Structure 1
Amino acid sequence: MDTLQQLSSGLDTVWVVLTAAMILLMEGGFALLEAGFVRQKNAVSIIMKVFVDISFGALIFYFVGFGLMYGKDAGGFIGTSGFFMGGDLTHINLNISHETYWLFQCAFVIAVISIVSGAVAERINFRAYILYTIAMTGLIYPIAGHWVWSVGGWLGKLGMVDFAGSAVIHALGGFAALAAAMIIGPRIGKFSADGSANIVPPSNLPLASVGAFILWFGWFGFNSGSTLSATNSSIGHIAVTTMLSAAAGSATCILFTMLRYRKSDPPMVINGALAGLVGITAGCAFVSDVAAILIGAVCGIAMVYATEILEAKQIDDPVGAFPVHGVSGSIGTIAVGLFAQPDAVREGTAGLFYGGGFSLLGIQALGLVTVCLWGYIMTWASLKLIQKVAALRVSRDEELVGLDVGTHGVPAYSQEDGFIDLQHLKKN
Structure 2
Amino acid sequence: MDTAYVIDTLFTLFSITLIILMVPGFAMLEAGLVRTKNVSSVLTVNVMIYAVASMAFILIGFHLAFGDAETTTMSKWAFFMFQMAFVGKAINIMSGGVGERARLLPLTLFTVIMGALIYPTAVNISWGSDWLKDTLFDINMVDLAGSTVIHSTGGWALLAAILVIGSRKGRYVGDQMRVIPASNIPLVVLGAMLLWIGWFGFNGGSVGSIATKEAADSVALTIFNTNVAGLAGAISAGIMIYARYKLFDITMILNGALGGLVAVTAGAHLFTLYDALAVGFIGGLLVVLAIPLFDKVRIDDPVGALSVHLVNGIWGTLAVGIFASNAVKNITFMNQLKGVAEIAIFVFTVSFVIIYLINKVFPFRATDEEQQQGLDVSECGLEAYPEFKRAI
Bucket of the pairwise TM-score, normalised by the shorter protein: over 0.9
Q: Which has the higher contact order (CA 8 A, sep 6+)?
A: 2
Give me the TM-score of the superposition, normalised by structure 1.
Answer: 0.86
Q: CA deviation at 1:158?
A: 5.0
- Residue 29 of structure 1 aligns with an amino acid whose one-letter code is G
Q: Structure 1 segments of 4 or more deviating over 6 A?
A: none
Matched residues in 2 for 1:63 and 1:26: separation? 22
Q: CA deviation at 1:38?
A: 0.4
Q: CA deviation at 1:242?
A: 0.3
**Could you tell me whether the CA contact under 8 Å between 2:65 and 2:129 is conserved in 1?**
no
1:198 aligns with 2:194: no
Give the one of 282, 293, 312 matched to 1:298.
282
Matches within 5 A, 1:6-405: 6-71=2-67, 89=68, 91-152=69-130, 154=133, 159-194=140-175, 196-231=176-211, 232=215, 233-340=217-324, 342=326, 344-345=327-328, 348-349=329-330, 360-405=332-377
Overall identity of the aligned pairs, in %? 37
Matched residues in 1 for 2:291 and 2:240: separation? 14
Matched residues in 2 for 1:174 and 1:281: separation? 15
**Could you tell me whether the CA contact under 8 Å between 2:232 and 2:257 is conserved in 1?**
yes
- Residue 255 of structure 1 aligns with an amino acid whose one-letter code is I
Give SS of 1:177's match: helix
Matched residues in 1 for 2:189 and 2:350: separation? 32
Matched residues in 2 for 1:34 and 1:401: separation? 19
Give SS of 1:414's match: coil
Matched residues in 2 for 1:207 and 1:338: separation? 36
Which structure: larger Rg?
Answer: 1
- Residue 148 of structure 2 aligns with an amino acid whose one-letter code is A
**Could you tell me whether the CA contact under 8 Å between 1:92 and 1:151 is conserved in 2?**
no
Give me the TM-score of the superposition, normalised by structure 2.
Answer: 0.94
Q: CA RMSD in A?
A: 1.6
Q: Unaligned stretches of 5+ in structure 1? A: 72-88, 351-359, 419-428
1:76 corresponds to which residue?
none
- Residue 106 of structure 2 aligns with an amino acid whose one-letter code is A
Q: Unaligned stretches of 5+ in structure 2? A: none
Q: CA deviation at 1:392?
A: 1.1
- Work out the number of aligned pairs and report it: 382
- Residue 112 of structure 2 aligns with an amino acid whose one-letter code is I
* 1:398-420 deviation digits (Å, cap 9, x = unpaired): 1111011121111102329x9xx
- Residue 263 of structure 1 aligns with an amino acid whose one-letter code is L
Matched residues in 1 for 2:79 and 2:317: separation? 24
Q: CA deviation at 1:92?
A: 3.1
Matched residues in 2 for 1:374 and 1:96: separation? 32
